[in-house]
Chains A and B, each alone.
Chain A
């Protein structure tokens, strides 16, 4: 382990190879030497798991406008989203969708040959009236189609890929970001990436919960590296639970299932959404539907008394299901052993999406405080970032849209930044990888000998599930804050049993656990402080949304001891004043 780190120089280094990272890399590579570091092969990034669609008011199926899309996004966010960022999102959605088609994305088509669109929850026509077909799709593998196309474009444009490299530390000097330190997972060893622009597109953090739709890789690495560099995270308490995770493991059944007309049923065989969102039923936003499901389960109307409900597609007919929801058909068959053309799918709410993350300006530059002071050389977009377009709750199909719009903008912003700041980057500090080396030697230290990473991770996931899930209260959150801090202490004594350098996935899991623990403190502390109900954050002991005190973004810093400092920033409101949110 004592071997000196290998050094690399690139103009731009993108960390993460999902839709946001690849779009940024593609745009940056048109003008600058661009590299991508990814902990998995790029085509294995979790963007590929996005199923149902990518929103854009193309109006290919019926009249639509970005103004309607904006209204839905603002209301969907429970008025916590910044409306300047949201307006950029929905306006740029249209040209970006066309650009993705031009790049080669194999979208499904309408009879006239246009990009096909389908309805999704939370998206309506004419300022909140009826459902609207706004989600551009490629069957129910939209993310897969977008991810592969962008990867292929990056290969074409000569982007340099460092696959299975795991970022472990940010390199900072005099307030400027000079790159990252990464561990080569395959061969072992630290690498120093010296760069003028570092772009984080490291994805979300659903792995902090026991039941999640997320990939094993979604451990919030990027957000925790930002915390450790002394920068804040924004709105971490807002985590979305998806209404249709397969029971018991939580894999995603796309919202397209409901968009195409699927029903949600309780043990009485009743479409229970009647009692919660009579106008929009199953197509109410996700926070509303997940809470309804949790209430049904808590009040004993789960199927056979168990903690799950049914998603029923049978009435759509076998042909339609196979044509437009082929992956869901396959998932139900492979993971539940059922044919969903004949039997309903068992589903439950599952941790799905992180609305919060690394605070950025609308040009994706990372900011270091609630006053939006930019960090030179550091950018972020996609699920790891909080710009904030999703506020307190994200609408379905707005996530891959955010990745595309802000990943693309980020790539262009990096080009602009480099043009305005020509010349070589600052010299690296002495021992730029000191923190990473210290962490590695601690994990490999023979004198340590605490619990395994797996055990601590399960304790974290169980606690977050029980005490920081869909319904929250002060006592639970207080208990969970104590628990996470105690787990962080135990993590200091953790040692990996595998001492080899090559393909040491036990080491990676230990490093990931450190990340999970760090950002989890900010989630729990943010949730504890926010005494109201808004979007996905629901405090049973503090009913009602409280715009007077809480129409603001949370900023949280983590110090070495695990203590949190909180600050707040007002929400940017342009076109739509907060109003009651009913569906």
Chain B
């Protein structure tokens, strides 16, 4: 099945800097796909290429089956795009802005619009330039959801917003995820963990991983082994065991390919009898810290 978004060897260079480096990504239809990574990882660059705001240096990208370099005009009738630094027409009232956009979209749902206005508590009679940043984001999101787009692309939608607004935006996205594919970038891992079905990790322009959230959560474990006597740090460990450290009689590492049956057996095979072994599930944040540290130490 063709993904809502697909990239092949996508590369973007700004002078000597490789902002994106041979990116292969597939965002399945119907997914809530979070693109995470540190600042400067290339998330915004990727989204701007997908939205045909930037042109890729090489490689290809398709969005809803369109070549991303051809996306313009009518194609945006199926795509809702919201960015943290998008410039809205400040002179317009919120109500005027929504009314102005309405005729552009054949699928505009006025009932949904009304619902979003209520849900976000939008002040229709205030000018956009007089709104707070969070409120402007809510207006942008409402105007990008009200036409029931097939794809919603959000670039750092939660950045700099207070927790209440984040919660409201998150809820709205979850509600919309039933009939839209949602692709959002964020460096706030805790925020996306709650509702993302898929996650991709971008670091220094490279895709470190992209997979479904349950699978990701299932295969990462923080392992702590306690021995009866002090142990030395062993060598020739599996590549999937990351950041192994030994301290006195305790060994800790992150297993990036945890299996409930094979991992304890492998531990026993390599270390012998263990007085106590814990295999703790990890937060998304902990997983990505482990991956980021691992990729930096290997590079």
The answer to whether A and B interact is no
- Which A positions have Cβ atoms within 8 angstroms of B? none
- Which B positions have Cβ atoms within 8 angstroms of A? none
